[in-house]
Amino acid sequence: MTSPSASSRKALSKIACNRLQKELVEWQVNPPAGFKHKVTDNLQRWVIEVNGAPGTLYAGEIYQLQVDFPEHYPMEAPQVIFVPPAPLHPHIYSNGHICLDILYDSWSPAMTVSSICISILSMLSSSTVKQRPADNDRYVKNCKNGRSPKETRWWFHDDKV
Amino acid sequence: MQNQDGHVVESGTETITSIKASEIDDWENFRDDDILQQQSAIQAEEAGKIPFVGDKEPLSSLAAEYKSGNAILVEKINVLTEQYAAIRRTRGDGNCFFRSFMFAYLEHILQTQDRAEVDRITANVEQCRKTLLSLGYAEFTFEDFFGLFLEQLESVLSGTEASISHDELVQRSRDQSISDYVVMFFRFITSGEIRKRSEFFEPFVQGLTNTSVEQFCKSSVEPMGEESDHVHITALSDALGVPIRIVYLDRSCDDKGSVSVNHHDFTPAHVTNASSGATQATKPFINLLYRPGHYDILYPK
Q: Which residues of B touch A15 (CB under 8 A)?
A: 144, 177
Q: pLDDT digit string (tens) for A28-70?
A: 999 999 999 988 889 999 999 999 999 999 999 999 999 999 9
The answer to whether the beta carbons of residues B86 and B299 sit under 8 Å apart is: yes
Q: Which residues constitute the domain of residue A118?
A: 6-148
- Residue B16 domain-assigned (yes or no): yes
**Main-chain phi, psi angles of A120, to 5 degrees:** -70, -40
The reply to whether B270 belongs to the active site is: no
- Residue B66 domain-assigned (yes or no): yes
* pLDDT of B210 higher than 60: yes
Sign of CA dihedral A92, A95, A101, A102: positive
**A26 in contact with chain B, both atoms CB, cutoff 8 A:** yes
How many structural domains does chain B have? 2
Confidence of residue B65 (pLDDT cuts 50, 70, 90): confident
- Residue A1 domain-assigned (yes or no): no
Q: Which residues of B touch A19 (CB under 8 A)?
A: 140, 144
**A122 in contact with chain B, both atoms CB, cutoff 8 A:** no
Average pLDDT score over residue span A113-129: 96
Q: pLDDT value at position A2?
A: 42
Tell me how far apart the alpha carbons of residues A152 and A139 are, in angstroms, rounded to a whole number. 10
- Residue B6 domain-assigned (yes or no): no
* Parallel, antiparallel or unpaired: strands A45-51 and A79-83: unpaired
Q: pLDDT value at position B33?
A: 66
Burial class (CB in 10 A: 0-12, 13-18, 19+), B272: middle
Nearest chain B Cα distance for residue A105, angstroms = 8
B151 shares a domain with B236: yes
- Residue A160 domain-assigned (yes or no): no
Q: From residue B101, give the alpha-carbon distance in Å to each of B11, B129, B186, B283.
A: 36, 20, 9, 16
- Residue A42 domain-assigned (yes or no): yes
Tell me how far apart the alpha carbons of residues A43 and B227 are, in angstroms, rounded to a whole number. 33
**Main-chain phi, psi angles of A115, to 5 degrees:** -70, -30
CATH number at residue A82: 3.10.110.10
- Give ipTM to 2 decimals: 0.88
The reported pTM is 0.86
* pLDDT of B273 higher than 70: no
Tell me how far apart the alpha carbons of residues B202 and B209 are, in angstroms, rounded to a whole number. 10
Q: pLDDT value at position B253?
A: 78
B252 shares a domain with B229: yes
Of the segments B19-33, B47-61, B100-114, B251-265, which one has the largest average pLDDT value?
B100-114
Q: Which of A105, A112, A151 is facing B32, going by the closest CB pair?
A: A151
Q: Which residues of B touch A105 (CB under 8 A)?
A: 223
H/E segment holding residue B155: helix B139-155
Q: pLDDT value at position B43?
A: 67
- Residue A23 domain-assigned (yes or no): yes
Of the segments B2-16, B158-172, B269-283, which one has the largest average pLDDT value?
B158-172
- Residue A59 domain-assigned (yes or no): yes
- Residue B277 domain-assigned (yes or no): yes
**Range from A23-32, A38-47, B7-16 carrying the lowest mean pLDDT:** B7-16
- Name the more confident of B141 and B13: B141
B86 shares a domain with B25: no
B65 shares a domain with B33: no
* pLDDT of B18 higher than 60: no
Contact yes or no for B224 and A109 at CB 8 A: yes
- Residue A156 domain-assigned (yes or no): no
Average pLDDT score over residue span B281-299: 92
**B147 in contact with chain A, both atoms CB, cutoff 8 A:** no
Average pLDDT score over residue span A140-161: 75
Nearest chain B Cα distance for residue A61, angstroms = 30
Q: Which of B33, B140, B222 is facing A22, going by the closest CB pair?
A: B140
Contact yes or no for B31 and A142 at CB 8 A: yes
B58 shares a domain with B45: no
Average pLDDT score over residue span A105-125: 96
Average pLDDT score over residue span B170-191: 97
B44 shares a domain with B66: no
Omega cis (within 30) before A85? yes
How many structural domains does chain A have? 1
Nearest chain A Cα distance for residue B57, angstroms = 31
Q: pLDDT value at position A156?
A: 73
Contact yes or no for A108 and B144 at CB 8 A: no
**A112 in contact with chain B, both atoms CB, cutoff 8 A:** yes
B67 shares a domain with B35: no
Q: Which residues constitute the domain of residue B219?
A: 53-300
Q: Which of B36, B141, B181 is facing A110, going by the closest CB pair?
A: B141
Q: Which are the contacts of B210, defined by CB distance < 8 A and separation ≥ 6?
A: none
Contact yes or no for B222 and A110 at CB 8 A: yes
- Residue A122 domain-assigned (yes or no): yes
* pLDDT of A142 higher than 90: no
| Cβ count within 10 A of residue A147 | 18
**B212 in contact with chain A, both atoms CB, cutoff 8 A:** no
B148 shares a domain with B217: yes
Q: Which of A112, A152, A153 is facing B141, going by the closest CB pair?
A: A112
Tell me how far apart the alpha carbons of residues B258 and B276 are, in angstroms, rounded to a whole number. 42
Q: Which of B138, B219, B222 is facing A26, going by the closest CB pair?
A: B138
Confidence of residue A5 (pLDDT cuts 50, 70, 90): very low
Q: At what angle do helices B230-240 and B115-134 cross, to 10 degrees?
A: 110
The answer to whether the beta carbons of residues B259 and B75 sit under 8 Å apart is: yes
The reply to whether B128 belongs to the active site is: no
Q: pLDDT digit string (tens) for B21-57?
A: 333 444 455 566 666 677 676 666 666 678 999 999 9
B87 shares a domain with B147: yes
Cα of first residue to Cα of last residue in chain A, in angstroms, is 26
* pLDDT of B186 higher than 90: yes
Contact yes or no for B224 and A75 at CB 8 A: yes
Q: Which of A80, A108, A119 is nearest to B137 (CA)?
A: A108
Rg from Cα positions in chain A: 15
Q: pLDDT value at position A136?
A: 94
B274 shares a domain with B149: yes
- Name the more confident of B141 and A151: B141
Tell me how far apart the alpha carbons of residues B166 and B169 are, in angstroms, rounded to a whole number. 5
**A15 in contact with chain B, both atoms CB, cutoff 8 A:** yes
Q: From residue A28, give the alpha-carbon distance in Å to each of A44, A112, B175, B299.
A: 17, 14, 35, 51
Contact yes or no for B138 and A112 at CB 8 A: yes
Q: Whole-number mean pLDDT of chain B?
A: 85
Q: Which residues of A touch B12 (CB under 8 A)?
A: none
Average pLDDT score over residue span B213-239: 97
CATH number at residue B271: 1.20.1300.20
Tell me how far apart the alpha carbons of residues A65 and B247 are, in angstroms, rounded to a whole number. 49
Q: pLDDT value at position B272?
A: 46
Average pLDDT score over residue span B6-14: 34
